[in-house]
Copies of this chain bind each other. A is one copy, B any other.
Amino acid sequence: MTQLYKESKEISYYMCDRHQRVTLSMLVNLLLDVSEKHSEGLGRGETYVKEKGLSWIILRYDFDIQRLPKVNETVEIETVATEYNKLFTYRDFFVKDLEGNELIKVTATFALLNHSNRKMARITEELVEPYKAVFSKRIRRLAKPQEIDNSVYNEKQYEVRYFDIDSNHHVNNSHYITWLLDSLGSSYLSKFEITGGTITFDKEVNEHQIITSVSSGRKADELWTDHVITSDTVRHCQASFKWKTVEKEG
């Protein structure tokens, strides 16, 4: 039996956008908060991992969104580490309303970083045993975000801000999402709301860097957008998102 952990979260006004829905950035903050609590409860929290000279890094998110929670709504966030192999662990998150309806499913792919050589470390049984995740040799082959369509795109530059670096001493994950989405511009973002997508992280963005976020609507289907974050010649992050026309709040 895998270990399931859940926690209620209330969606506050400051977590929401003008459509009264939680932003994707804030959603990710809430999910990671819940997964860290899960790990702490199993004696595998950040401090434990750090003492071994390691840290978990996120390589990928896959989102499937029925409905984004709205301001003042209380939701239940469930999480479970489902599977691991020697390089990756996979964790699912389910956001449910108070009637138990699934609003959002997110799968996150994690890897272990060795602090001394800055390389990926092998995942040991000892580290993941308490989660009761299933070991499977198979490394999942997941579709990459689509390359951007070079003919029609928006481009914006962002400078990493002092407070973008969080208590883990890294640019908080949520800021990549803000950079990815903000580059679409307000005319797109006011009209459409997100229903799913994939984000992959390649190389970390550091303090003082200026990054370029490029986004592009697909010619074949304007309800898909593709994204890339780069600096100089380095690619930091890629994403593809699916959208639908915004449903106005009643």
Contacts and interface: CB of A to CB of B under 8 A. Distances in A.
Interface of A: 12-14, 16-18, 20, 23, 25, 29, 32-33, 36, 71, 161-163, 165-169, 172, 174, 178, 181-182, 184-186, 189, 207-208
A244 B146 CA distance: 49
A162 B174 contact: no
Given A29-B12, A33-B12, A17 B163 contact: yes
B166 A186 contact: no
A178 B163 CA distance: 7
B163 A181 contact: yes
Nearest to A12: B33
7 contacts: A14-B33, A14-B172, A16-B167, A17-B166, A71-B167, A163-B182, A186-B207
Contacts of A71: 167
Contacts of A13: 32-33, 36, 166-168
A184 B163 CA distance: 12
Choose among A20, A23, A33, A161 the residue with the greatest number of B CB atoms under 10 Å from its CB: A161
